[in-house]
Structure 1
Amino acid sequence: MAATGIDERAFNLTPEEYARVKEIFTQAIAMTPEARDAYIAKAAEDDESMIAQVQSLLEHHIEETVLDASDATDTVNDDVNDNIVLDAAPESDTFLVQKDVWEDNRQILRRRLMIIATVMTIIITVSTVDWFLLATEDTDYIARLIAFVVSLTAAIILYRNQNLSLLQIRIAELMVMANVGLLAIDLDIRMTCNVIEAEKPNMSTMLASINNWNYGTWSLIIFIYGVFMPNRWQRAACVLLPMAAAPYLVTELTTAIAADQYGKNIQDLMHNDLLGRPLSPPLIAACISIFAAHTIHGARTSAFQARRLAQYRLIDLIGEGGMGRVFKAEHLLLKRSCAIKLIQPDKNADSRALRRFEREVRATAQLTHPHTVQVYDYGQTNDGIFFFAMELLPGMNLGELIKKTGPLPPERAVHFLIQVSDALREAHEVGLIHRDIKPGNIFISERGGIRDYTKLLDFGLVREVKVDPSLSQTTMMIAGTPSFMAPEQATHPEQNDVRSDIYSLGMVGYYMLTGHGPFKGQTPIQIMMAQVNETPAPPSAHQPGIPADVEEIILKCLEKAPENRITSAIELRDALLKCKCSRDWTAMLASQWWNAQKPSPATIAKSPET
């Protein structure tokens, strides 16, 4: 990926400026290339820096976004090699990665400054109380009081305002670190003056010890700043190298004060046993800290890049199944949470099947039915791993629900079947066959305040099933899961049509009503053969109380011959709506059920083998 031009102001954008850049970018990507430049110039009010940032984001978007309106029409020709390969860990530091790093650094810097300010406040308070109790003469508390007020004010501001800009936090950093340095200078001067006033016989030793304390304290401050505060090495050098000169300036200052106020020449005494000879501890600490800042910043940037996929940052692993892993992720610019599914295709997979998968993900992204999971993006890494980004859903999949509750009441099962059949209607109308309808691909969530809201996931996944576990080379490529697949998916995979999805949805209905499927087997092939040859027992044979009209629809969906089944998703939906119990599962009942459950984290179905 080509490197993008980034000016330093990009990292100091105020929240308002950043929101404006985001707004302009979001509007611009929907426009034709001819109209973009004029719109950007007008919207940015000819602000060159803001225009540059929007253009940089547009270049990045055009380079890495894989969904394009032109792709939606490419759904027929298997021979077209339209793979789009993305580097999961690009070498260049793009604006988006650096912006993400500095957004994280901003919060780290705020928290650590708050800790330093709080610790300083506590130390000043404790030492002042101790000094007050033990002092035998008048003591000047003004410097300590000023340091206390500055530290406490900074700690309160940093604690209460979590949305401070990076510039505001840097100002707070200056206040806190200057406060620490000035307090150290004040203590050094006061200790030196106290020793001179006392005129003790061991004054030479005491002055050398105080001066060594001065160099040691500044070395510690330099080291803590370099390691504790997130910085680039350039900025760390600009701050730490002048700081390394501070103890030398303090030594000269105390020497001048001693000569002016006490008529004492202590220059030679101050340099006895000086830690600054032959090497300077503050300078050594500064060099080590600059290198540490560079190493830490580089490691953090690399970590962000490693957890980056196209325009997304991977956050947490939230699911894992036979076809791949699912991560919670965030769009780097829009800050929109989503789920990223990584799919590792088998090395022996047919390239035509993989291209079909690519096209079907594109086509799925065009689906707009509210009960179909929304797909945002799709691509392929250099390692051959497919990924697609979809909406992040709170809740659980249907398989998890059944394991949690057992068989569902008929009215609730019908409620779910109506929603899924409605989603299938749109997919079938545009020529998409799901091929893998199962409980793990039906997600039960809450959307827009509506409980028991169903989302259909994962269109068109192809999986490999071993015919006999003892024969590792005997495999076949099928689309579907044996326990829920139609007979023709096993016998004539090329003849799959919408009625195959109807059969699978009927199997899901059977599973919801009874808590298990109608067929059992020790191996996938045994289950597949049962799908082809055995007649399922009525659901009421396993679970009494199932309404006859519901059972009739389920068994009609499970006819072996496709021509004997319900022929379409819309016909299935209309039949389910005519069931007497179709209106019995109300929003109130759904809310009561979900309120009784423990809150679940935002996740998305991991598509387990069910």
Structure 2
Amino acid sequence: MGEVWAVRNQLTNRDFAVKFLLPEFWNNGEAFERFLREAETTGKLRHPGIVDVFDVAQTDDGRPYIVMELLAGEELGSCLDRVGTLAPLRVAEYFSQLSGALQLAHRAGVVHRDLSSANVFLARGDAAGEITPKILDFGVSKIMGPSVVEELTGHGAVLGSPSYMSPEQACGADAVDERTDVWSLGVLMYRCLSGTMPFHAKNYNALMVAVMTETHRPLVELVPSVDSELVALVGRCLIKDRNDRIGSAGELSARLGAITRRLATEASDWSRTPKRRVTDRVPLAPPDDRRRLPFGRRDQADDGSPFQPFFGRSSVQAAILASVLVLGVFLGRWNSTGESETPTDMAAELPGSLSAADETLKIFSPSDLPLAEPEPPARVADNEPNLGRAVARGTLRR
């Protein structure tokens, strides 16, 4: 439904991500409302675990766009595709932070309803090795209130990523609350620990039936060596009757925080004991692809690079941020199914004029872009995200 550009405000020298709605959806009322809903909802939520939204506006030709923080790192789904599973300590740590972010959203009356591996981003921090998991895309969120329940779909409609839907979502229940997000977090943790999904089916309808009626395989059977308290907590998130499920994101965050502290202490105590440890290392792909930019969905043409872009490979430049000259690189587009697309015209012009001033912009082709030499690969710990770096930039001039 949209495309994302990485841009630089040359007055402040700050980088941003700008998300556009594709022209074919301009006249789609539901898509337009979801796009604006994302900006409105996310812009009101301030938490390290939620992507920042700074502004929402329209181009001169009426095309809406959202200005967001530019994230460097890796999408959770891309990370899991590459490494398979994450260490239990990392799962507890990341999801304690994510559930804390959702606790803030729930207190503001917002249920995400579409949590998935595509909507969780492992963002690189300023310190070496620092990772902050962030929640993306509140476009299908539900606003709860005593007098108003806003829906973007009809009565009984099913909305969300099928594999991560709660039973109440799968049956099209109108009364969806914060426990739906707790279920989705449970599915994500199940996948992070086991490398597989709790429910499998050949088609959408069969999957919905499985989510509503079937019992998932106990996590302890798949990963018997994983911390038993963490396994039990994931199981409590995946109880079909939401009245018996973990009751809130706040409760989940507190329990995961306690597990994180205990596992960290145990790991520290273990590391002080002299012993020889044999582990399987996560292989690093050669860092020879210089076309990476750090905001994005993994491209369909996976070449095994240790870092994958968020919305595709293309590197193009654009003018953005009203009346401000910027530095930009095009990151790709996604369609309504959440799959990335690779643009055929890598030097396509930025759609719509964002400035009231009459400016002439020069758009460079990818072959004109200055390329930095790739850095040598850093050592990556067992089942750790590989956060990559941006190494290509393009310039726009008057």
Larger radius of gyration: 1
Per-residue displacement from partner, 1:43-95 (whole Å, max 9, x unpaired)? xxxxxxxxxxxxxxxxxxxxxxxxxxxxxxxxxxxxxxxxxxxxxxxxxxxxx
Residue in 1 that maps onto 2:395 = none
Q: Which amino acid aligns with 2:72?
A: P
Structure 1: gaps (5+ residues): 1-322, 463-475
1:517-537 CA deviation, whole Å, 9 max, x = no partner? 111122222222211111111
**d(CA) in 1 for partners of 2:237, 2:14:** 39
Match of 1:397 among 60, 70, 75: 75
Return the offset for 1:512.
0.3
Give the residue type in structure 1 aligned to 2:98.
V
Distance (Å, rounded) in 2 between the aligned partners of 1:494 and 1:481: 17
Matches of 2:44 and 2:54, distance apart in 1: 9
2:374 equivalent in structure 1: none
The question of 1:569 aligning with 2:249 is answered yes
Distance of 2:76 and 2:166 partners within structure 1? 19
Q: For the structure 1 residues 458 and 534, does the alpha-carbon distance in structure 2 shift closer, same or farther, using more than 3 Å as the test?
A: same
CA drift at 1:354: 4.5
Mapped pair 1:418 → 2:96: yes
Structure 2: any 5+ residue segments left out of the alignment? 142-155, 272-280, 297-309, 312-333, 341-398
Check conservation: 1:510, 1:539, Cα contact below 8 A: yes
Superposed CA offset, 1:224-250 (max 9, x none): xxxxxxxxxxxxxxxxxxxxxxxxxxx
TM-score (norm 2): 0.60
Residues 157, 172 of structure 2: 8 Å contact kept: no
Q: Indicate if the aligned counterparts of 2:47 and 2:101 stay in contact, CA closer than 8 A.
A: yes
Q: Give 1:439 shift.
A: 1.0
- The answer (yes or no) to whether the contact 2:89–2:264 under 8 Å persists in 1 is yes
1:365 to 35, 39, 43: 43
Structure 1 residues 316-370: Cα deviation after superposition (integer angstroms, max 9, x where no partner):
xxxxxxx43222123464342111223448689565x754652452231122111
Q: How far is 1:595 from its partner?
A: 12
Separation in 2, partners of 1:564, 1:448 = 40
Q: SS of 1:459's equivalent?
A: coil
Q: In the alignment, which residue of structure 2 is the partner of 1:491?
A: 171
The aligned residue for residue 263 of structure 2 is 581
Distance 1:405 1:350 in 2: 40
Q: Structure 2: how far apart are the matches of 1:514 and 1:347?
A: 41
Checking the alignment, whether the CA contact within 8 Å between 2:80 and 2:195 is kept in structure 1 is yes
Structure 2 Cα separation of the partners of residues 513 and 389 of structure 1 = 34
Please give the alpha-carbon distance, in whole angstroms, between the structure 1 residues aligned to 2:286 and 2:49: 24
Task: Determine the structure 2 residue equivalent to 1:443.
Answer: 121
Tell me, what secondary structure is at the counterpart of 1:478? coil
Alignment-derived partner of residue 295 in structure 2: 603
Is 1:398–1:444's contact at 8 Å kept on the other side of the alignment? Answer: yes
Aligned residue number for residue 529 of structure 1: 209
**1: distance between equivalents of 2:84 and 2:208?**
24
Q: Deviations over 1:486-506 (max 9, x none)?
A: 111122352211111110011
Instruction: Name the residue aligned to 1:330.
Output: 8
**Distance change (3 Å), C-alpha of 1:498 and 1:560:** same
Contact 1:411 1:584 in 2 (8 A): no
Cα separation, partners in 2 of 1:373 and 1:480, compared to 1, 3 Å: same
SS across alignment from 2:114 = coil
Question: What CA deviation, in whole Å up to 9, does each residue of 1:562-594 have, x standing for no partner?
Answer: 1111111110011112324265678xx9xxx99
SS of the aligned residue for 1:564 comes to coil
Question: AA paired with 1:556?
Answer: R
Please state how far the C-alpha of 1:598 moved relative to its aligned partner.
7.0
Residue 543 (1) aligns with residue 235 (2): no
Deviation at 1:416, TM superposition (A): 1.1
Determine whether 1:375 maps to 2:67.
no
- The 8 Å contact of residues 38 and 137 in structure 2, kept in 1 or not, is answered as no
Q: Separation in 1 of the partners of 2:216 and 2:64?
A: 37
Residues of 1 paired with 2:181 and 2:12: CA distance? 36
1:552 Cα deviation from its structure 2 partner:
0.9
Rounded Cα–Cα distance in structure 2 between residues aligned with 1:380 and 1:543: 49
Is the CA contact (8 Å cut-off) linking 1:412 and 1:585 kept in structure 2?
Answer: no
Determine the structure 2 residue equivalent to 1:515. Answer: 195
Is the Cα contact below 8 Å between 1:502 and 1:569 reproduced in 2?
yes
- Report the secondary structure of 1:453's partner residue: strand
Higher relative contact order (CA 8 A, sep 6+): 2
Distance 1:381 1:481, change over 3 A: farther
Residues in 2 aligned to 1:556 and 1:338: alpha-carbon distance in whole angstroms: 39
Q: Is the Cα contact below 8 Å between 1:435 and 1:460 reproduced in 2?
A: no
Provide the residue aligned with 1:430 in structure 2.
Answer: 108
1:553 Cα deviation from its structure 2 partner: 0.8
Query: Number of matched residues?
Result: 271
Give the CA RMSD over aligned residues: 3.3
Which residue of structure 2 lines up, in the alignment, with residue 459 of structure 1?
138
Compute the TM-score of the two structures, normalised by the length of structure 1: 0.40
Helix, strand or coil at the partner of 1:573: helix
1:478 aligns with 2:158: yes
